[in-house]
């Protein structure tokens, strides 16, 4: 079974990863997650945070790991960032991934 899981990770995108440091205890920091994602062959790990922006952390990952993985960040559209409650998906934005 583990071989099947490893095969699924190659080229995978996971856009919902919470990393440390954070106000909540997390099992891994962003560097650990990036290292594991690169070793697993993931294409796009994506971090999100309920309390702050993630652009600074993704920039740090890119300067450290280069193009081993395409780390993306996201911000949760909730009261912590000053947005009112909206219909699900009303703020969604889609952009194609750049080629590797």
Residues 49 and 21 sit within 8 Å (Cβ to Cβ)? no
Q: How far apart are CA 44 and CA 97, in angstroms?
A: 9
pLDDT of residue 2: 80
What is the number of alpha carbons within 13 Å of residue 73 lying toward its C-beta? 17
pLDDT of residue 83: 63
pLDDT over threshold 70, residue 28 = yes
3-state secondary structure of 86: coil
Segments making up each domain of the chain, as ranges = 2-81
Residues 34 and 60 sit within 8 Å (Cβ to Cβ)? no
Entry pTM? 0.73
Average pLDDT for 49-60: 86
Q: How far apart are CA 38 and CA 91, in angstroms?
A: 30
pLDDT over threshold 60, residue 97 = no
Nearest to 29 by CA among 61, 51, 62, 76: 61
Q: How far apart are CA 64 and CA 31, in angstroms?
A: 9
pLDDT over threshold 60, residue 86 = no
């Amino acid at each position: 079974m583990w071989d099947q899981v490893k095969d699924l990770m190659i080229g995978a995108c996971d856009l919902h990863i919470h990393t440390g440091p954070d106000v909540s205890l997390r099992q891994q920091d962003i560097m650990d997650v990036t290292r594991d994602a690169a070793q697993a062959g993931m294409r796009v790990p994506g971090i999100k945070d309920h309390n702050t922006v993630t652009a600074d952390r993704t920039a740090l990952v890119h300067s450290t790991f280069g193009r081993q993985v395409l780390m993306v960040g996201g911000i949760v559209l909730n009261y912590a960032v000053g947005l009112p409650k909206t219909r699900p998906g009303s703020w969604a934005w889609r952009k194609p991934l750049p080629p590797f």
